[in-house]
Structure formats: C-alpha cells, structure tokens
Amino acid sequence: MKSRTRVASVVVVLAAMGAWAGPASAVEFVKYSGECATELNAVGQAIEDATFLGNKATTDESNLFAKLDAANAKVGLEKYDDAVDKLMNIVSTATALANAAKPKLDSAYGINTAAGAAMDCVGALGN
C-alpha cells in the first residue's frame, strides 16, 4: 500500500471512529493542588465555562485566570487574607463585566458562587 493511500485510509478510519464515539466530553479544569484546591479549581472551571462577550473576551477571561493564579500563589505562601482579597477582586471584576452598559460577560453568577466558596475555604485557613 502506498504511503498516501495508507494515510487516507487512516484518516477515514479515524473519522469514522470519531463519528461513532460521539462528541468528546468536556475536560474538567484541574490546575491547582494543596489547600482549597477543589474550590480554586471550581473557580477556574466557572471562568472556563463562562461566556465572555465583545472584542476583548479572550483578554477578560485571561485576566480572571491571572487573578486566580495570584490567589492560589497567596494560599501557597500562607497569605490567606491576600488570597481572599484576590478572590474578591475576581468577584468584583466578573460583576463589573456582567453589569457593564455593553456586557462583557453573559453572567457572573457561576464565577461569583465558586469564588464565594473559595473565599470561605481560604478564610477558614487563616483562623
């Protein structure tokens, strides 16, 4: 079998397998480990699942992820109050994006709910 024919056959088989297997399942956001990792990962999943709108959608999403990375770093340094501040900043940013005159985020609810649970977890570490 010639190389081109073999490649074409493989492509046809893979396409058929993809159609048979159905759609791929969503990949769960798992980036953080350690204290409050479940809650921080839930915030990441909520950001990932959110619908960002407008020309700066990718930038807005990236900025929220950067804030989440900063919160995780503060948890790792045992600077829990600073981590809570970073999580509160996520909430205020998501709310501002959703409530803008021309909304930049479909809804802040999922992000804010997850961030609230993360703040509860991180806040308990400082006590």
**Residues in contact with 16: Cβ distance below 8 Å, sequence separation at least 6, in sequence order:** none
Bridge partners of residue 52, in order along the sequence: 105
Q: Which residues of 78-109 are buried (b: 16+ CB within 10 A; e: fewer)?
A: ebbebbbebbebbbebbeebbeeeeebbeebe
Indicate yes or no: pTM above 0.85.
no
pLDDT digits (tens, 9 = 90+) for 51-103: 999 999 999 999 999 999 999 999 999 999 999 999 999 999 999 999 999 99
Structure tokens at 68: 């989440």
Whether the predicted pLDDT of 113 surpasses 80: yes
Structure tokens at 29: 């956001």
